[in-house]
Structure 1
Amino acid sequence: MNTIRDTIRQQLEDNLLYGKGDLTDDASLLEAGLIDSTGVLELVAFLESRFGIKVEDTDIVPANFDSVAGLVAYVQSRLRDAPARAAMADHAD
């Protein structure tokens, strides 16, 4: 069973590193030149599709998207908050 970390690392390795190099969980994707604004948008689409979360524009900040560790923490927080957001949406009607 793949963990969130494993899934994110695999995506980054396949689409940014192309199977080359070593990426630590805390390494800055921006400083390493591995991701640009287009890459961030592709990563957002992947996270939304793979994990069934909605990435808000205000959440696209370096703290959430600049490292594997940041991405994992962000996805975990969105998955944790999903039931509460769904319940609020049900009561909004």
Structure 2
Amino acid sequence: MQNFILEEGAVLADDDSFVEQGIVDSTGILELVLFLEQTFGLNIPDQDITPDNLDSVDKVCAYLARQRAAQPLVAGAQPAWIPTQAL
């Protein structure tokens, strides 16, 4: 995810705000949502597109973990990889 968000050589702490750091704007948030949906096979509803869920690496990881935990397991399905640290 860091490669998606940052320019090469840039440094970002896991709890730094993407918006406050000037890394993304409203269009960038939508691009992030599309990236997460395609990468993790999610459908992120509009009501989840909030700073509480998507405004830092920590918040994105926590959101992804909550979404994966909320999905029912399917018999025979491989467990999904859940990021526990910065991507």
Q: When the two structures are superposed, what TM-score results if normalisation uses the length of structure 1?
A: 0.73
2:15 paired with 1:22? no
Unmatched segments (≥5 aa) in structure 1: 1-7, 87-93
Pairs aligned (count): 74
User: What's the % identity of the aligned pairs?
Assistant: 42
Aligned to 1:69: 58
2:75 paired with 1:82? no
Partner SS for 1:83: coil
Q: When the two structures are superposed, what TM-score results if normalisation uses the length of structure 2?
A: 0.77
| Cα separation, 2, equivalents of 1:81 and 1:34 | 29
Whose helix fraction is larger, Structure 1's or Structure 2's? 1
Aligned to 1:9: 2
What does 1:27-66 correspond to in 2, within 5 Å? 27-66=16-55
**Aligned Cα root-mean-square deviation (Å):** 1.5
| Cα separation, 2, equivalents of 1:21 and 1:61 | 24
Unmatched segments (≥5 aa) in structure 2: 75-87
| Cα separation, 2, equivalents of 1:75 and 1:10 | 18
Question: 1:10 deviation in Å?
Answer: 3.2
| Cα separation, 2, equivalents of 1:72 and 1:11 | 14
> Structure 1: which 4+ aligned runs deviate by more than 6 Å?
none
Question: 1:11 deviation in Å?
Answer: 2.3
Which one-letter code corresponds to 1:43 in the other structure? L
| Cα separation, 2, equivalents of 1:31 and 1:57 | 21
Which one-letter code corresponds to 1:72 in the other structure? C
